[in-house]
């Protein structure tokens, strides 16, 4: 028959083991709770938190995105889709030759790694602190350009509109353009299906 293990000096009597366990429990009862009351109390994220993306504008309202598609190439999850188009004097969305006509981010695939931010040459794409991206529909997780584009601030005119007189795209990138030129008005967006008022149907 196997010999029974001998009690050592370090082994506590049986009745003291539960008491020691309850001691740990009682100590934890009076400590501050670590549970976060979300969503009743909104969570404060870190300043450099990687959340929902944002397409930025220049101070006069023109878009910074030039439709180069580098963000889509850099994305390891293949979550970004971009279609570039050419600017014209009659319909200008960005200071350069091209702009992002179609811009989509699929948040069902995005891993919020930030590699697209590093690839962007014009700082058009940045990440906000917004982290509530859950939805009941997969289709709603595909954010379009209209959802990602930053809102208008004071001194801005919604794109498309003409470039600031006497400047070029380099002046925009250097930060020399600080607001829209006096008298700047929004141009008609013909490429998005809108027709000028004076255009005849069937012409």
Residue 150 belongs to domain with CATH number: 3.30.70.3270
Q: Give the E-state strand segments of 94-201 in sequence order.
A: 98-106, 125-127, 142-143
| Longest alpha-carbon distance in the chain | 106
Please list the alpha-helical segments (H only) found in 60-168: 70-74, 115-119, 145-148
What is the model's pLDDT at position 45?
85
What is the model's pLDDT at position 42?
81
The reply to whether 2 falls in a domain is no
Distances (CA, A) of 12 to 23, 24, 26, 145: 15, 16, 20, 68
As a 3-state breakdown, the chain gives helix, strand, coil percent values, each rounded to 5, of: 20, 15, 65
Whether pTM exceeds 0.95: no
**What's the CA gap between 177 and 162, in Å, rounded?**
13
**What's the CA gap between 147 and 188, in Å, rounded?**
20
Task: Tally the domains of the chain.
Answer: 1
**What's the CA gap between 197 and 188, in Å, rounded?**
9
Expressed as residue numbers, the domain containing 65 is: 53-175
**What's the CA gap between 80 and 106, in Å, rounded?**
6
**What's the CA gap between 201 and 203, in Å, rounded?**
6
What is the model's pLDDT at position 202?
42
The reply to whether 32 falls in a domain is no
The reply to whether 21 falls in a domain is no
Write out the two tokens for 75. 């994305």
What is the model's pLDDT at position 199?
45
The reply to whether 75 falls in a domain is yes
The reply to whether 36 falls in a domain is no
Q: Are 171 and 181 in contact (CB under 8 A)?
A: no
What is the model's pLDDT at position 203?
37
Nearest partner of 48 among 104, 129, 123, judged by Cα: 129
The reply to whether 47 falls in a domain is no
Residue 15 Cα to chain centre, angstroms: 58
Residue 177 Cα to chain centre, angstroms: 25
The one-digit pLDDT tens for each residue of the chain (203 residues) are 555 555 555 555 555 677 777 888 888 788 777 777 777 888 888 888 899 999 999 999 999 999 999 999 999 999 999 999 999 999 999 998 999 999 999 999 999 999 999 999 999 999 999 998 888 899 999 999 999 999 999 999 999 999 999 999 999 999 999 999 999 999 998 876 554 454 444 43
The reply to whether 58 falls in a domain is yes
What is the model's pLDDT at position 6?
57
What is the model's pLDDT at position 10?
55
The reply to whether 44 falls in a domain is no
What is the model's pLDDT at position 3?
59
């Amino acid at each position: 028959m196997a010999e029974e293990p001998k009690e050592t000096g370090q082994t506590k009597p049986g009745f003291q083991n539960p008491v020691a366990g309850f001691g740990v429990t009682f100590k934890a009862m009076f400590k501050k709770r670590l549970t976060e009351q979300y969503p009743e109390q909104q969570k404060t994220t870190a300043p450099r938190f990687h959340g929902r993306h944002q397409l930025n504008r220049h101070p006069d309202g023109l878009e910074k995105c030039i439709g180069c598609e580098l963000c889509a190439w850099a994305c390891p999850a293949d979550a970004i889709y971009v279609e570039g188009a050419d600017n014209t004097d009659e319909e200008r969305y960005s200071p350069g030759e091209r702009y992002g006509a179609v811009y989509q981010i699929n948040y069902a695939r995005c891993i919020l790694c930030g590699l697209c931010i590093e690839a962007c040459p014009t700082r058009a794409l940045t990440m906000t602190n917004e982290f509530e991206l859950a939805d009941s529909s997969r289709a709603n997780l595909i954010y379009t350009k209209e959802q990602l584009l930053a809102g208008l601030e004071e001194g801005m005119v919604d794109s498309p509109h003409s470039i600031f007189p006497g400047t070029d795209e380099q002046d925009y990138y250097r930060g020399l353009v600080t607001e829209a030129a006096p008298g700047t008005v929004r141009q008609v967006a013909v490429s998005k299906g809108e027709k000028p008022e004076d255009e005849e149907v069937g012409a």
